[in-house]
Amino acid sequence: MLAVTSLPGGEQRYLNDIRSRTTVSTLSPDQIHQLGLREIDRIEAEMLVIAHHEGFADVQSYRMSLQTNTKYRPISAEQILEDFRRYIAQMQPELPKLFGYIPASPVTVEAIPDFQAAMATHYQTGTPDGRRPGRVVVATSNFADRSLIDDEATAYHEGIPGHHMQRSVAQQMTGLPKFRQHIGNSGYIEGWALYAEQLGKEVGFYQDAASDYGRLASELFRAARLVVDTGIHSKAWTRDQVVEFLRKTGSIDEPTIQSETDRYIAWPAQALSYKLGQLKFRELRDRAQRELGSKFDIRSFHDEMLSGGVLPLDLLDTRTDDWIRMRKRTAKAAVVH
């Protein structure tokens, strides 16, 4: 068997993996599985709207057209890097719409070096004093086989307002314990970065329909992980079942499907953290908006999400409730005076 549940105490091992790697303690494997299926349905419905708008009958035909459209095939490694630089640069002046506190920490974009060519695009944290900038390190090898459609979402995820923004804020919060400034859990860190991809749309970006489709494909991939990880470790799925399910989503290419499947087998529950974290940030935002009504301010909310440094999501939930109560008291006091 492939599952962690084949080991002694396997069911408890998997529950522990879920709680330690996502820092969400309230969901069972079956609840996570069903949540993934619902999210896939929601995202695919949004993809269909784009496909129809672009003149296609269904998502599959639109996806195929993107794969053959030379507009979305890079002609050089430098074009990919310039894409990332452009998206990060256009986001920078929009940050005051989303945040009250904006650190001055610099960020650069560079190619993954040849000796690490097989790595995926990722973020490397800079130093708190800014002498070494944060770096978005971009996969550019075999550029002609790559696509540009997910560059925008990935730039926001890895750069701003994603990993670079979160890490930079944490570094500047000098009153925090060092481990909350510099060490992280995937539920918080990757959840924030996936949540941040949507913020680009909220300030008016993803103007190209293909780029917006790329954003949804990124989210679809993370939703599929909820299904296949729990499928392996809680529902006795075979490797072939996982591969076939991922193929049907159309969100990633074949080499990635194969490597990701092995990742889920070897690293139970870690891949759940992206989507569960994103959904937690959305849940907290919805709660704050509902409770505060006209007093809700997105900038203050985002500052609260980041200013405590890296937190377990269960603790962030409690912290958000405290913040909501404080904001209500402040608003009430202002009315009285």
| CA gap 273, 58 in Å, rounded | 30
pLDDT at 162: 98
pLDDT of 337 above 60: no
Q: Please, is 86 exposed, middle or buried when counting C-beta atoms within 10 Å of its C-beta (0-12, 13-18, 19+)?
A: middle
pLDDT at 129: 87
DSSP structure class, residue 110:
E
Tell me the backbone φ, ψ of residue 8, rounded to 5 degrees.
Answer: -55, 135
Tell me the mean pLDDT in the region 302-316. 97
For residue range 12-65, what is the model confidence (pLDDT) as tens digits? 999 999 999 999 988 999 999 999 999 999 999 999 999 999 999 999 999 999
pLDDT of 194 above 60: yes
Average pLDDT, the chain: 96
- The alpha carbon torsion through 257, 264, 21, 196 (nearest 10 deg) reads 10
pLDDT of 333 above 90: no
pLDDT at 77: 97
Higher pLDDT, 179 or 42: 42
Tell me the mean pLDDT in the region 321-331. 95
pLDDT of 184 above 90: no
pLDDT at 126: 94
Tell me the mean pLDDT in the region 286-307. 98
For residue range 76-108, what is the model confidence (pLDDT) as tens digits? 999 999 999 999 999 999 999 999 999 999 999
What is the residue type of 195? Y
C-beta of residue 137 within 8 angstroms of C-beta of residue 164: no
pLDDT at 25: 87
pLDDT at 336: 60
Which residue from 259, 269, 192, 197 is spatially nearest to 36, judged by alpha carbons? 269
| CA gap 188, 287 in Å, rounded | 18
Q: Which two tokens stand for residue 168?
A: 């930079």
Is cis: bond before 312, omega within 30 of 0? no
For residue range 152-161, what is the model confidence (pLDDT) as tens digits? 999 999 999 9
C-beta of residue 140 within 8 angstroms of C-beta of residue 122: no
Tell me the mean pLDDT in the region 278-300. 98
pLDDT cut 90: percent of the chain above it = 93
Domain boundaries, given as residue ranges, for the chain: 4-278
pLDDT category at 130 given cuts 50, 70, 90 is: confident
pLDDT category at 182 given cuts 50, 70, 90 is: confident
pLDDT cut 70: percent of the chain above it = 99
pLDDT of 248 above 90: yes
C-beta of residue 81 within 8 angstroms of C-beta of residue 111: yes
pLDDT at 112: 98
What is the residue type of 242? V
Contacts 24+ apart (CB under 8 A), 197-203: 197/153, 197/156, 197/157, 197/162, 199/98, 199/156, 199/161, 200/87, 200/91, 200/152, 200/153, 200/156, 200/161, 202/98, 203/91, 203/94, 203/97, 203/98
pLDDT of 257 above 60: yes
Specify the range with the lowest mean pLDDT, choosing from 47-61, 64-78, 177-191. 177-191
Buried/exposed code over 206-234 (b: 16+ C-beta within 10 A; e: otherwise): beebbbbbbbbbbbbbbbbbbbbbbbbbb
pLDDT of 123 above 70: yes
DSSP structure class, residue 295:
G
The angle at the Cα of 221, spanning 218 to 222, to the nearest 5 degrees, equals 90
Tell me the mean pLDDT in the region 195-215. 98
pLDDT at 38: 98
For residue range 12-23, what is the model confidence (pLDDT) as tens digits? 999 999 999 999
